[in-house]
Chains A and B, each alone.
Chain A
Amino acid sequence: MRPGRSLAACALIGAAVMAAIDEIVFHQILRWHHFVDRSTSAAGLVSDGLLHTAELLALVAGFVWYADLHRRRALSPAHARAGLLLGLGGFQLFDGLVDHKLLRLHQIRYGVDLLPYDLAWNGAGLALLATGTVLAFRARRLRDRRGRP
Chain B
Amino acid sequence: MIKSIFKEAEPPPTPFPLRLSRVHEVMGPAAYSFGLIGAQSAGLPLLWIRKAGLAPNLFPQGIAAFLPPDQILLARPADQKDSLAVAEEALKDKALKSVVLESQAPLNLREGRRLQLAAQTGGGLGLCLIRDGMGSNAAETRWICSPLYDPAPDRICQDSTLMRWECIKNKSGTIGAWHVRWDRTAHRLHMVPAPSHGTGLAHI
Q: Do A and B come from one complex?
A: no
The interface of chain B, by Cβ under 8 A from chain A, is none
The interface of chain A, by Cβ under 8 A from chain B, is none
